[in-house]
Copies of this chain bind each other. A is one copy, B any other.
Amino acid sequence: MGNFKTLQEACYVANMQLPKLGLVVYTFGNVSVVDRELEVFGIKPSGVPYDALLPKDIVIVDFENNVVSGKMRPSSDTKTHAYLYKVWDQIGGICHTHSTYAVSWAQALRDIPNFGTTHADHLTQDIPCASPMSDELIAGDYEHNTGRQIVDCFVERGLSYKEVEMVLLGNHGPFTWGADATKAVYNSKVLEELAHMAYLTLQINPEAKRLKPSLVKKHFERKHGEGAYYGQ
């Protein structure tokens, strides 16, 4: 059993962002951070309130869902994280919350339309809402299958997890990821903002249209394209 202090600390810091950003109440969320060399990830323990959480409580788990280090039981969503790390080999962190607006779109079973440049600054596509799982998948290895359902949705729709770093799982809520846990949490906050704005947009104008392709392209590329000129 190695020394996972750095991984635990990074995972702890990312988890503690969730209540500060208003994305969770009680224990409604979890963040994990992966170590690609060791093929393990740190994840929040199950059912522990944020204000009682300590870095040493972070559980270290391998990609086959075995606890490698830690005295607590890992998040009940651990198998979903493991599946995503295994299949999507370039993500460094994953975040799951029950944030209000994102969950509401998931409950409404609706993709979040790309209505403006705040959205296009982050992704060119609508934010996908994956269908709820079949009864068979639910009755089976549920959390593992949750990961499958997300990945299958991306395959079916031809989406790249490197561009679209967020998804809604129908009747459940948001999962986000990124190069590291900080980016995964950032994406959860951005998703909540986009979900809020898209909701208001449709209330103000039920006929609101997506922004046009030229504008989507411009905004996405000035942040993420070859000649990106945003940031330092």
Contact = CB atoms under 8 A, between A and B. Distances in A.
B138 A197 contact: no
Contacts of A189: 25-26
Interface in A59-117: 72-73, 76, 98, 100-101, 103-110, 115-117
Number of copies: 4
A153 interface: no
Contacts of A116: 103, 106-107, 171-173
Interface stretch (A3-11, A32-40, A44-52): A44-52
B72 A104 contact: no
A5 to B, nearest CB: 22
B232 A118 contact: no
B200 A202 contact: no
B197 A200 contact: no
Given A72-B232, A118-B28, A105 B204 contact: yes
Interface in A159-174: 171-173
Contact of A76 (B108, B142, B202, B230): B230
Contacts of A202: 204
23 contacts: A25-B193, A26-B186, A28-B118, A72-B232, A73-B232, A76-B230, A98-B193, A100-B197, A100-B200, A104-B200, A104-B204, A107-B197, A108-B208, A109-B205, A109-B208, A116-B172, A116-B173, A132-B211, A132-B215, A135-B212, A135-B214, A139-B214, A202-B204
B47 A231 contact: yes
A196 interface: yes
A47 B228 CA distance: 12
Interface residues of A, number: 60
B171 A211 contact: yes
Closest 10 CB pairs of A and B: A47-B231, A104-B200, A108-B205, A108-B204, A171-B211, A107-B115, A107-B201, A107-B116, A135-B214, A117-B172
A46 B211 contact: no
Nearest to A211: B171
